[in-house]
Structure 1
Amino acid sequence: MATTVNGAFNEFMGKNVNLDPNKTKRARKSRDNLIDNIHGLNSDSNFFNLYSDIDISFGSFARRTKIRPLNDIDNMIGINADGSSYYENLNEVKIYVHDSNSPQYNCCNNNSNVLNSTKVINKFITGLKNINDYKHAETHKNEAAATLQLKSYEWNFDIVPCFMTKTDSYDRSYYLIPDGKGNWQKTDPRKDRVRVTSLNQKHSGKLLDTIRLVKYWNVRPTMPSVPSYALECLLLEYYDIRDETSDYIDLRFKDLLLFISNNIWNPIYDPKEIQGDLNTLTYDEKLKISNRANNDYDKACEAVKEETENKDHEKSIKKWGEILGSEFPKYG
């Protein structure tokens, strides 16, 4: 229950959108403990020679744009190349293993020295099954990671084996991760992390909460959902071209609804300059998302008018509830 719009949004964000701070703290501790346990596998001569210097957490939890529930935490675990090399052709990346590297060579395609990423994941799964405090390890549904279920917590870990390339002629290096088909693909979560952090600082720390609120709106069953990473990149485009933003999250949210309605039709380019256009939505999906965002923008304008001009917080809170659902606080 709330008597002001600001109070309603504060309550809503704390109880329904943002991760619980205590749970986040436990999750980070359990993540660090898991990574230590994985590196303990280095003592097994039959396991890969791990390269902790390139380990990195990625995904929305690492970027602090994750909303409730906390159900998965993503981590890349580095493997030392040990003489291996890679070759790229039309975005298909293959890693060629040195014959003397038996742990990697045993994960190659039959009668070749081409490293099979699915076999690498399976080797991680075999090792993870022997770690205490974890009850189940399996291949992720996208076949590009090992998913580990915990005994004591509700969140899972997605463990992604990776290599790091040498710096190229453009002074860039890349992570090589499984592509879900047995080969490898380029990525660079460092780019995403730096972009989110710098734009959040540019807008005085107001960006992260706003992204989370839009993500909550995005997964409500009122329209097709924009893929989470593509949506985040679209929102960052908005903040990248603006120098100022409102102090009030309801006003920021209102403006983003209009931006989504107008721009969901456009390409959403990968800021890492690897994947190209991330907007894979169909015309029908774009139409439904655009219409919902526009309708909710109109309602948001009504809610702001009730609050600022008519001084009627009760009507304003009710209107915001029409946009954000029954979990939004009632007036009172």
Structure 2
Amino acid sequence: MVYTVWSAFNRFRTDTVDLAPDVTDRARTSRNYLFDQVKRLANNNADFPRLKGGYLSFGSFARKTKIQPLDDVDILILLNDENTEVQSLYNEPYTYYLKAKNSFAPLYLFTDDYNYVNSTKILNKIKYHLSSISNYKKAEIKKTMQAVTLNLSSYDWVFDIVPAVPAYNYSGSIAYYLIPDGKGKWIKTDPRVDSTNVTKINSRHNGKFLPTLRLLKYWNRRTHKPRLQSYYFETLAIQVFQYASSIDNFPNAIKYFFDNCPFYINQICSDPKNLGTALDLSVPQSTKDKIITAMSEASTFAKYALVYEEKSDNKEAIYWWQRIFGYEFPSYG
């Protein structure tokens, strides 16, 4: 039974928004199992892309920003970069070539006529060999041509497997990773930066940023308005709360977000890693305007909810939170 705003949010998070602990544990175990199978494939097949070290978990599941249902788990599998060099394109500032210096390069098998390593060839070879994994159901190249999506019959979620080549700086540390650009070449990324950014702001807010973000991501997913791409939406939330007072409760934090996010939506949203194009590059102003209108309405509803809660009218307060989050948000009683 739900008779307070606090209990309504608690029920909503547990039943509808947050991943259940047992699901999270199973997903992590399955991720480890998958990489063990990938290593086996690499060891048993000379034409499988050569690996270097382990894997890197990334995406919303790794950052603990995933909401129900768990539909995908992302991993970067690290490839052997020996005897390769990164070359940039003067007319494509965020696209790169990976050139094999000689035939001894572990990735030489996947080069074109000019000795450039073709990322699409690597994806296709990974897809080809995945069929020998136990519990295999289906594997296909994602529409973005940046990952192999693997379905295993024993799990509800799919795995997005992204081949990544580590690139090093002068001190010998990994500076960034190259991943497929969808056209055979490469782009830069570094999920470590995203993980660090989320961890820092969550710590600054005493562990309350992540659950707040997941609640907001649920709102973003609702169909009564356009939906912003998940990573872009997360970045907006980080911008909003980066210098805000410490989050003390979810209702106040949610209203604060709706009040302040429109300012950031109307700004250019640069890649937090400084490795790629702006996150809002493909978002038209008309879409931004619709999101801002929806946020203004949500802010008004949140104000009503807070006023009624202050008057100890939890029934009416819960009604207004339900107007924001939809009928999955628990009703009073």
TM range (shorter): over 0.9
Structure 2 equivalent of residue 324 of structure 1: 325
Superimposed CA distance per residue, residues 163-201 of structure 1 (whole angstroms, 9 cap, x where no aligned partner): 111115998711000011110000000000011111111
Paired residue total: 328
Q: Aligned runs of 1:95-134 on 2, under 5 Å?
A: 95-101=98-104, 104-109=107-112, 111-134=113-136
User: C-alpha separation between the residues in 2 aligned to 1:47 and 1:311?
Assistant: 64
Structure 2 partner of 1:21: 21
CA distance in 1, matches of 2:174, 2:105: 29
Query: 1:100 is paired with a residue of what secondary structure?
Result: coil
Q: State the match for 1:67 in structure 2.
A: 67
Identify the residue that residue 275 of structure 2 maps to in structure 1: 274
Structure 1: how far apart are the matches of 2:222 and 2:161? 28
Which deviates further from its counterpart, 30-39 or 93-102?
93-102
Residues 74-104 of structure 1 show CA distances to partners (whole Å, capped at 9, x for unaligned) of 0000111121111012222001124424763
CA distance in 2, matches of 1:100, 1:171: 25
Give the equivalent residue in structure 1 for 2:266: 265
Q: What TM-score do the two structures reach when normalised by structure 1? A: 0.95
Give yes or no for the alignment of 1:158 onto 2:160.
Answer: yes
1:216 equivalent to 2:214? Answer no
Q: Using the alignment, how far apart are the partners of 2:301 and 2:243 within structure 1?
A: 25
Residue pair 1:302, 1:316 contacting (<8 A) in 2 also:
yes
Give the equivalent residue in structure 2 for 1:56.
56
Contact 1:161 1:178 in 2 (8 A): yes
| Distance apart, 1:106 and its partner CA | 2.9
User: What SS does structure 2 have at the residue aligned with 1:315?
Assistant: helix
Q: Distance in 2 between matches of 1:318 and 1:153?
A: 37
**1:42 deviation in Å?**
2.6
Matched, 1:247 2:248: yes
Q: Distance in 2 between matches of 1:192 and 1:113?
A: 33
Partner of residue 180 from structure 1, selected from 182, 194, 197? 182
- Counting aligned pairs with the same residue, the percent is 38
Partner of 1:37: 37
Structure 1 unaligned regions, length at least 5: none
**Deviation, structure 1 residue 270:** 1.3
Asked if 1 retains the 8 angstrom alpha-carbon contact of 2:83 and 2:102, the reply is no
Structure 2: stretches of 5+ with no match in the other structure: none
Instruction: Note if contact 1:262-1:290 (Cα within 8 Å) is conserved in structure 2.
Output: no
Task: Name the aligned partner's letter for residue 64 of structure 1.
Answer: K
Q: d(CA) in 1 for partners of 2:172 and 2:277?
A: 18
Output the aligned Cα RMSD. 1.7
